[in-house]
Amino acid sequence: MLLMRYIVQRERSRAAQKIIEEYLMPFVEKERYQMSIRCRLHSDNDLYRDQEQHKIRVVVNEWKCGYCRKRFYQEKYLDQHFDNRHYDLLNVSHSRCLADVCGALHCDLVMDSTPRKTKCNPAAASRNQHLCESLADSCFPVNEGPSASRLHEFFLWQFCDAHTFKGGQKPFSRGHRVKFTTTFTLFYDQLYFPSMQTSTKPYGSTFCN
For the bound state, the minimum distance from the C-beta of residue 65 to Zn ion, rounded and expressed in Å, comes to 3
Closest separation in Å from C-beta 142 to Zn ion? 44
Least distance in angstroms from the C-beta of 48 to Zn ion: 14
* Shortest separation between residue 52's beta carbon and Zn ion, angstroms: 13
Helix 146-155 vs helix 122-139: crossing angle, to nearest 10: 170
Quick one: which of 43, 52, 55, 67 contacts Zn ion (CB under 5 A)?
67
Other Cβ atoms closer than 10 A to 28: 19
Alpha-carbon gap, residue 129 to 141, rounded angstroms: 17
Widest CA span of the chain, in angstroms? 51
Contact status: 65 vs Zn ion (CB under 5 A):
yes
User: What minimum distance in Å lies between the beta carbon of 129 and Zn ion?
Assistant: 40
Q: Closer CB to Zn ion, residue 72 or residue 155? A: 72
Nearest distance from C-beta of residue 68 to Zn ion, angstroms: 3
The reply on whether position 178 binds Zn ion by CB under 5 A is: no
Q: What is the DSSP string of 104-171?
A: HHTGGGTSSSPPPPP---HHHHHHHHHHHHHHHHHHS-GGG-HHHHHHHHHHIIIIIGGGSSSTTPPT
- Residue type, position 98, single letter: L
Selected range binding Zn ion among 4-12, 69-77, 136-144, 172-180, rule: CB under 5 A = 69-77
- Does 6 engage in binding with Zn ion (CB under 5 A)? no
Candidate segments 32-40, 58-66, 106-114, 198-206, binder of Zn ion by CB under 5 A: 58-66
**Phi, psi (degrees; rounded to nearest 5) at 106:** 65, 45
Contact 122, 130 (CB under 8 A): no
Report how many residues bind Zn ion under the rule CB under 5 A.
Answer: 4
Count of other CB atoms within 10 angstroms of residue 188:
11
Task: Determine which residue in the list 8, 56, 58, 68 makes contact with Zn ion, applying CB under 5 A.
Answer: 68
Nearer to Zn ion, 88 or 112 (CB): 88
Chain centre distance of CA 186: 19
Question: Which stretch in 59-67, 150-158, 175-183, 196-204 sits in contact with Zn ion by CB under 5 A?
Answer: 59-67
Q: Which residues here bind Zn ion, judged by CB under 5 A? A: 65, 67-68, 70
